[in-house]
Structure 1
């Protein structure tokens, strides 16, 4: 068994490579070549969570699961909110091939899936990016968006102004583009072509009346039925796409709450990203349409990333071999 730590995971799994891996696995999921069950979530004390996310990649003969803890207040302790590992098995022999750091996979593949959605749904001329949130996903989403669109201006908003200012300064220096901290979320999204909501909020941080016509939104923060980042008016006004239909109708508060309110009807979801990749689903209908990708994060994405990392680690002689 190979143990691959977070540093090695980040070295092996570049954002560009991960975007390609996510395209392939999302298409495989929609075609039935990849299988997963709904995540199981166990509540822990203090509002914390422990999750189990199993899946199976038929073509790669790989099976396994991500084990993850979600501790929203860990940032106050100087710790990441999401920590875990992906256990990767050989689906032909049952051998445990690898344990791969789950935090780095989550950070990279979440933004890579948003990049796939942006490639498929955002206008080709999209150049102004707004990011709501200042944490790890804000950093990875900026990197991912720069790979799929010619971004010329970035605006960031967060609940802590100092963090937003630091993010803006660091990212401007890293990428050599204009990055500014906005005083409000509304100010951040004004005239934005692409909006990424990557917050830990359980109530709306983005309202429909603020969003310009023709914008594309990647909403990846809220991941439970009672949580959402978007108001109902925005969801109702958008063409809604998801990573997995079964997951969305059970877990996505950004869909379930507007549905319960009567703001949208069943069938409001236009389709899966995999369906778009397979050309089974229609995408953006006009330059003025608002498109919305609601991402929950899927077991199959973690497994595909872990399988790629494992294969590359064997070639590059990375990781530590452990006898079981």
Structure 2
């Protein structure tokens, strides 16, 4: 049995490799609609999250703890491990660092779902706008670079200076960056935000927001939008009007209805039906042919167990 820590996971697989592994899995007989259900259980000071899956020769379960008070005490909010098994004998093959798998998997999924659109629409590179100055925002920029050149990035924040660390990370990557405020003080988008969105080819929403982050009218018809921050049927980062005029990609339709407020609330508003959506698997197996050329593309993700298994398998095979 191998024990693969954060450094080993990070060194073994980059975003390009993770994107390829995810897309390859979707070209097999596996259908995410058949993936095992994610589960949770309460803890005194947080909760357990259980993410089981089985594909071919491998089975896996990622077990994480979410401890809201930890950051104030200097500890990670999310901790845990991913257990990789032989699916025939259930022999343990490896224990991998859970947050490292999550930080690799999450941006890789986002970009794997929209890579056909990005390379087809923007072969010369993209201008990005990222909502959220946390870890996932910058990781999504890194993952985007595995698909297409990133020419510049705007980070949207609620308070001046919140994007300082994000911008420092962009500088290390050699990418020009700008911070803008999301609101204008009266509940509307700031002029700087509207201008940034009108110029953006790729928009990433990586926040804990429960209400739409921007006005749908600012999104161009050729833009690509990924929303991965909210994981509740009652919360959304995107306005219904955007989903109503976009091609909407979901990881699976049942997951979208169970966990994705952007989709659930757009349906409730009458802007969308679940039958209007296309799945991650349909996008990959068609080479992007199911994506209309004259509409924005929205990929709403919440994460699924099979994605952790695929990334863990790729890491394990790389180091074995």
TM-score range, shorter chain: 0.7 to 0.9
Partner of 1:241 in structure 2? 249
Question: Which fold has the larger relative contact order, with Cα–Cα distance below 8 Å and residues 6 or more apart in sequence?
Answer: 1
Secondary structure of the residue aligned to 1:228 is coil
Partner of 2:65 in structure 1? 69
The number of equivalent residue pairs is 307
- Over 3 Å counting, the alpha-carbon distance change for 1:26 and 1:295 in structure 2 is farther
Partner of 1:179 in structure 2? 177
Partner of 2:87 in structure 1? 91
- Aligned pair partner of 1:189 in 194, 197, 213: 197
Shift of 1:19: 1.2
- Over 3 Å counting, the alpha-carbon distance change for 1:35 and 1:253 in structure 2 is same
- Over 3 Å counting, the alpha-carbon distance change for 1:196 and 1:71 in structure 2 is farther
Partner of 1:9 in structure 2? 9
Question: 2:26, 2:166 → 1: CA distance?
Answer: 31
Partner of 1:320 in structure 2? none
- Over 3 Å counting, the alpha-carbon distance change for 1:258 and 1:77 in structure 2 is farther
Q: CA RMSD in A?
A: 2.3
Question: 1:182, 1:14 → 2: CA distance?
Answer: 30
Partner of 2:51 in structure 1? 53
Q: Are the counterparts in 2 of residues 120 and 283 from structure 1 also a CA contact under 8 Å?
A: no
TM-score scaled by structure 1?
0.87
Q: Are the counterparts in 1 of residues 23 and 112 from structure 2 also a CA contact under 8 Å?
A: yes
- Over 3 Å counting, the alpha-carbon distance change for 1:179 and 1:32 in structure 2 is same
Partner of 2:115 in structure 1? 119
Question: 2:228, 2:132 → 1: CA distance?
Answer: 11
Q: Are the counterparts in 1 of residues 282 and 290 from structure 2 also a CA contact under 8 Å?
A: no
> Unpaired runs of 5+ in structure 2?
184-188
Give a deviation string over 1:150-187, Cα, whole Å, max 9, x none: 22111011234323123113312x12221111122751
Partner of 1:321 in structure 2? none
Q: Which moved more, 1:125-134 or 1:66-75?
A: 66-75
TM-score scaled by structure 2?
0.88
> Unpaired runs of 5+ in structure 1?
315-324
Q: Are the counterparts in 2 of residues 38 and 247 from structure 1 also a CA contact under 8 Å?
A: no
Secondary structure of the residue aligned to 1:162 is coil
Shift of 1:104: 0.9
- Over 3 Å counting, the alpha-carbon distance change for 1:144 and 1:183 in structure 2 is same
Secondary structure of the residue aligned to 1:152 is strand
